[in-house]
Amino acid sequence: MGDREHYLVRAKELLQENIVITKQAQVYETKPEGNVQQPLFLNTVIECTTEVVPERLLFFCQYVEFRLGRTRTVPQGPRTIDIDVLLYKDVVVNESYLVIPHPRLHERTFVLQPLCDIAPGLVHPVLGKTMQQLYEEHKKLSVPD
């Protein structure tokens, strides 16, 4: 919602309070998932370094979302910003509040495409396939728009 480009820039600025951005994918405009009527989304992926453990990184990302006006009223509904922790080195986390790698990472073009921009050879720590392999497999299974 709102000035999408501004929210992406501002989110990166705020995230840098606890991370160092090492790479960023290009920004893609995509259709929203689900049945909620809303504008197109902007999606990108960043690679970063941090000393923050995964759980605290999630809470920090949620704090950045809050600072940028995110409210959680409708699941998958319109929002100012949505920040997910997709991967964290080769760490696997399976808690009720946090799953790493992101459980739907391999099912989402809007995640896989920008991931391939910056790390096509990165191996998914559970599936054992590279991001490029997952993207190619997903494209074969996807229904065209």
Residue positions annotated with a catalytic role = 70, 79, 82, 84
Question: What is the residue-wise DSSP string for 89-133?
Answer: TT--EE-SS-EES-TTGGG-HHHHHHHHHH-TTPBPTTT--BHHH
Residues in the chain, overall count = 145
Point out which residues pair with 41 in neighbouring strands: 30
Question: CB–CB of 105/124 below 8 Å?
Answer: yes
Residue that the structure tokens 């760490």 belong to: 91
Which residues fall within 8 angstroms of residue 72, CB to CB, at 6 or more apart? 79
Residue 133 corresponds to which tokens in the numbers above?
């392999």
Q: Scan for tokens 């689900």, then name that residue.
A: 34
